[in-house]
Amino acid sequence: MSRDADRLSIGDVARVTGLGVHALRFFEREELFLRPIPRTAGGQRAYDRADVEWLLLCNRLRESGMPIATLRRFAHLVRSGPGNEPERLALLEEHERAVRDRIADLTASLEIIHGKVVTYRRHVQDGTAAGVWSPSP
Amino acid sequence: MSRDADRLSIGDVARVTGLGVHALRFFEREELFLRPIPRTAGGQRAYDRADVEWLLLCNRLRESGMPIATLRRFAHLVRSGPGNEPERLALLEEHERAVRDRIADLTASLEIIHGKVVTYRRHVQDGTAAGVWSPSP
DNA sequence: GTAGAATCTAGAGTGCAATCTAGGTCAAGC
DNA sequence: GCTTGACCTAGATTGCACTCTAGATTCTAC
């Protein structure tokens, strides 16, 4: 498509968001958009820049572990217009907390794993092998 | 069980690893242990401390995103005894890289999310509402 | 105007990682 | 001895998030 700079086909949107046409249709069924996506005369989806911006935010939220159900709740809040900002804020704060917790967990695991790597590295370089993996906490 | 300090029932192991008896049987089917878990006369699993230590490491690897298939490869390497330390090292180094990448991604997303939170917080406090969610990248 | 690519819908299938079910057996305390 | 709870196997089911299929329609480029 891309005849009109602000009328993007599903393929265009897939390309710029990295989401895949199947995923985009799925997102629509799941009510994750901020509006009903309008259609061309022939029935094909016509997205605009704002849809893409929203999808990019969705990508961030999804990649950082927000479940579809929560994203849908957020989309519904935004869709229903001004007045529920405290709820949106609470939802985002909750997610921010979850992401921070996840990073902390990963960092803790990373230390353990890095410790194992260091040990193996030393033993591989030494040609020493026995007991390397012995599971010491 | 816990009659013998080093002969733990599946329930005991579930309690100390947080893994659930179903998951422990599943792990065994998936060959994630370092040995065939021995059985009592009556056919019940008898774990020992080393199994638990291994499971705790498995938990760290799983929680940090290692797929079951990779964990199985690692378990197989460890099972097959000394001699393949370079392979184990490579596997762990690869995983360490993956975890660092994941942390970096999460940190990047966190910044976006935190930005949204700050914006919403300001607007909620101001009583300002319009345009808050406007998806600006 | 026509070929070939892209899109449409509804619904089925996939992959991962458990988690649960049914129909039993085993073990610990009274 | 008997009850009660823990445990056994094999296999079915779940939940999440896509991902693909089939068969029809639309759009773009020549």
State pLDDT tens for residues B38-73: 999 999 999 999 999 999 999 999 999 999 999 999
Residue B67 burial (CB count, 10 A): 11
Q: Which of B121, B60, B41 is nearest to A86 (CA)?
A: B121
Above pLDDT 70, what percent of chain B? 89
Is residue A105 within 8 angstroms of chain B, CB to CB? yes
Highest mean pLDDT among A125-129, B3-7, B76-80: B76-80
Write out pLDDT tens, residues B104-128: 999 999 999 999 999 999 989 887 6
Please list every residue in chain B whose beta carbon sits closer than 8 Å to the beta carbon of residue A88: 120, 132-133
Closest CA to B24 of B58, B49, B1, B50: B58
Rg of chain B over all Cα atoms, to the nearest angstrom: 23
Asked if the Cβ–Cβ distance from A89 to B120 is below 8 Å, we say: yes
At B110 the three-state DSSP class reads: helix
Q: What is the pLDDT of residue A135?
A: 53
Average pLDDT, chain B: 91
pLDDT tens digit at each of 137 positions of chain A: 444 568 999 999 999 999 999 999 999 999 999 999 999 999 999 999 999 999 999 999 999 999 999 999 999 999 998 989 999 999 999 999 999 999 999 999 999 999 999 999 998 988 765 554 555 54
Is the pLDDT at B134 greater than 90? The verdict is no
A79 has a chain B CB within 8 A of its CB: no
Q: What is the pLDDT of residue A133?
A: 53
Q: What does the alpha-carbon distance between residue B17 and residue A136 come to, in Å, rounded to a whole number?
A: 15
Report the pLDDT value the prediction gives residue A1, as an integer from 0 to 100: 44
Chain B environment of A85 (Cβ under 8 Å): 120, 123-124, 129, 132
CB neighbours (10 Å) of residue B94? 13
Residue B8 bridge partners (DSSP): B47
Predicted model pTM: 0.89
Q: Is the CB of B25 under 7 A from strand C?
A: yes
Note whether A6 and A49 are within 8 A (CB): yes
For residue A83, which amino acid is it? Answer: G
pLDDT confidence of residue B81: 84
Cα angle A125, A126, A130 (rounded to 5 degrees) comes to 110
Indicate if CB(B48) is under 7 A from strand D: no
